[in-house]
Structure 1
Amino acid sequence: MLPLDAVAAPLPLPVRDGVGPSCVALPADGPWPTMLDFLVQRFPAIARETWVERIAARDVVDEHGEPVTLARRYQPRLRLYYYRALESEPRLPEDEVVLHRDAHLVVVDKPPYMPVTPSGPYLQQSLLVRLKRRLGIDELVPLHRIDRATAGLVLFSVSPATRGRYQALFPDRAMRKEYEAIVHWPPGTNLPASYRSRLAPDAHFMRTREVPGEPNAETHLQVLEVRGAHARLRLSPVSGRKHQLRVHCNALGVPIVDDAIYPTLLPYGPDDFAKPMQLLARSLAFVDPLTGVARSFTSARSLGGWPDQQP
């Protein structure tokens, strides 16, 4: 399935109830007599009857807008568009807070557990879909991502005409990002002011690991407070690799409190809303590429507290 939120060209299906169409590309060759046969095999979690209903409702079309029918023959190298749907979604305990909105940008304070874009069991409860419905902006696109378990600031683009200017702030390292974390703090711990390593995908798709080689990830660290077996850190990522802050903290021997992936990947199960991971995307600062004016935004959220709070 291909992500569509960053595609600027008109799509053959409109945004519906905040959800844009998903896309799947048909392979160059295969054994499928019809497009329906391909869809059933490509998405085994979706019943054949569900695809039949979607096709009957004209909710599956090709890249030219032509409806897929039950008998339509398989055509290689074609793209099909369809609406993803979930029978039910987990309920989330908190809502997002819109901190800023103008003609070009929306800045949102995200609670933990809410994914930025649709993924896994979350569609209508994803931040992007919630905002499209709430603000009525079908063209809304996230300019960056933070993990579902991470709380804090996410920046969205409103206008396709200016989107590229703001997107360039991230690869150009012109967007200053600061995070806060509460971490485990073994006796005698000392942290460097900066940590660099090479990150790569792990054998398990959920994880990232450090590997030998030229560093491709860098994090600046500052200890803000120490209380017994825990500390509060300011983390400033220079790069933006998957799970970078979580991996770097773990590598330094100070894993983030209530991280369900590092150092140990916990079994999949319902979220424990009483124990969110203690990582917060605290602030974003940049020079606006359209006006040249310095801008900054700060999360109004705070981390949930110290695991062993002292009176």
Structure 2
Amino acid sequence: MPSPLPVRDGVGATRLHVPLTGPWPTAAAYMVERFFHMDPERLLARFDRGEIVRADGSPVPRDAPLGSVEFVWYYREPAVETRIPFEIEVLHQDEHLVVVDKPHFLPTTPGGKFLQNSALVRLRNLLDNPDLAPIHRLDRATAGLLMFSTRPATRGAYQLMFENRQVQKVYEAVSALPEGGELPSFPLVYRNHIEKPRAQVRVEVDDTREPNAETLIALISSDDRVVHTLLRPHSGKMHQLRVHLSALGIGILNDRFYPELLEDLPDDFDRPLQLLARELRFVDPLSGEERVFTTRRTLQHAPAGEDPFSEDPVSGA
């Protein structure tokens, strides 16, 4: 459903579904209850200023009865954001695609307390392209390769590659050496069943169900402190790599979610999650050309003196 409001300062309008029936006399009353954390008068004033609109772009008055409008659009009011002090590096740009190296801590898209501090909004402003949209996503804590579509007309072809698992993704991780120094026998394939319950920040593992998440894990190197692994996910479940390494007893360094959920604290920019999206490989659905993109970033706690790009420990390439 197209937005009646244009992208503004790199940020698209938010769409909200309003129930057609319910205990609220007006659409505004529903929104006041839905956004209970906001000052009601501040929200109602936005109706009065014509900032809440219908699909045709016409303003929704504050007294519009419930059932008179099913969807409304509005711009999120800018929050006071602390700038994330790391920059995106554009690795590739053509008529259809933009590939970037995303830093740790930067979310892929706006959400929560992050608006201008998201890869999407920064890139829209940098490249002056309001049509830019992510084709896939990385966790905020994960650094590395992220691919964007520049044109709505060709976006679906690239999104379908990810849906059909036609993109080979390679990651790196650095974990603390387990107590005793004994490592799993690499390479190995780890499988389990992962679910994401609503209203929870972590996923859950259900060992009674058929596996739906699979990762090939190989050893790059290790020393007396850490183990550096290469990861090839066959599936794309939320937090899959973090969960799988944690289950093997080699949870990723600086992971605040696994194996234990730690207290929610302000970002510590000196302690990024040691997980990196290293490579994307696919056959371009438009040109038929094989395309390979590789990060220029490295993980700060990888064993000193190694070259992680010199050899793939699984394929030998």
Letter of the 2:296 counterpart: A
Q: 1:194 aligns with which of 179, 185, 189?
A: 189
Q: In structure 2, what is the Cα distance between the partners aligned to 1:94 and 1:142?
A: 19
Q: In structure 1, what is the Cα distance between the partners aligned to 2:61 and 2:229?
A: 56
Change (3 A) 1:209 1:76: farther
CA deviations on 1:189-248 (whole Å, 9 max, x unpaired) are 214521111111257611112112111111011100111131000011111000000000
Conserved? CA contact 1:191–1:252, under 8 Å: no
Match of 2:312 in 1: none
1:242 aligns with 2:242: no
1:278 aligns with 2:274: yes
1:41 aligns with 2:33: yes
CA deviations on 1:4-41 (whole Å, 9 max, x unpaired) are xxxxx531111111111111111132222222211111
CA deviations on 1:120-167 (whole Å, 9 max, x unpaired) are 110111111111111111111111111000001110111111111111
After superposition, residues 90-101 of structure 1 pair within 5 angstroms as: 90-101=82-93
CA deviations on 1:233-272 (whole Å, 9 max, x unpaired) are 0011111000000000001111000001001111112001
Match of 2:263 in 1: 267
1:159 aligns with 2:155: no
Change (3 A) 1:180 1:252: same
CA deviations on 1:158-186 (whole Å, 9 max, x unpaired) are 11111111111112111011111001222
Conserved? CA contact 1:27–1:76, under 8 Å: no
Change (3 A) 1:236 1:52: same
Aligned with 1:144: secondary structure? coil
Match of 1:184 in 2: 176
Match of 1:206 in 2: 201
Q: In structure 1, what is the Cα distance between the partners aligned to 2:199 and 2:185?
A: 28
Q: Give the stretch that moved more between structures: 35-44 or 186-195.
A: 186-195
Q: In structure 2, what is the Cα distance between the partners aligned to 1:286 and 1:240?
A: 16
Aligned length: 301
Q: In structure 2, what is the Cα distance between the partners aligned to 1:53 and 1:16?
A: 20
Match of 2:3 in 1: 11
Q: In structure 1, what is the Cα distance between the partners aligned to 2:292 and 2:92?
A: 11
Q: 1:301 aligns with which of 286, 297, 301?
A: 297
| Shift, 1:76, TM fit | 6.0
Match of 1:51 in 2: 43
| Shift, 1:72, TM fit | 2.0
TM-score w.r.t. length of structure 1: 0.92
Q: In structure 2, what is the Cα distance between the partners aligned to 1:198 and 1:250?
A: 14
After superposition, residues 220-259 of structure 1 pair within 5 angstroms as: 220-259=216-255
Q: Which runs of 5+ in 1 are unaligned?
A: 1-8
Aligned with 2:73: secondary structure? strand
Match of 2:55 in 1: 63
| Shift, 1:49, TM fit | 2.7
| Shift, 1:90, TM fit | 2.1
Q: 1:102 aligns with which of 94, 100, 106?
A: 94
Q: Give the stretch that moved more between structures: 145-154 or 192-201.
A: 192-201
Aligned with 1:284: secondary structure? strand
CA RMSD of aligned residues (A): 1.7
Conserved? CA contact 2:136–2:147, under 8 Å: yes
Sequence identity percentage: 44
1:84 aligns with 2:76: yes
Letter of the 1:100 counterpart: H
Letter of the 1:221 counterpart: I
Letter of the 1:113 counterpart: F
Q: Which runs of 5+ in 2 are unaligned?
A: 306-317
TM-score w.r.t. length of structure 2: 0.90
Aligned with 1:168: secondary structure? helix
Match of 2:114 in 1: 122
Letter of the 1:190 counterpart: P
Match of 2:135 in 1: 143
Match of 1:6 in 2: none
Q: In structure 2, what is the Cα distance between the partners aligned to 1:108 and 1:149?
A: 16
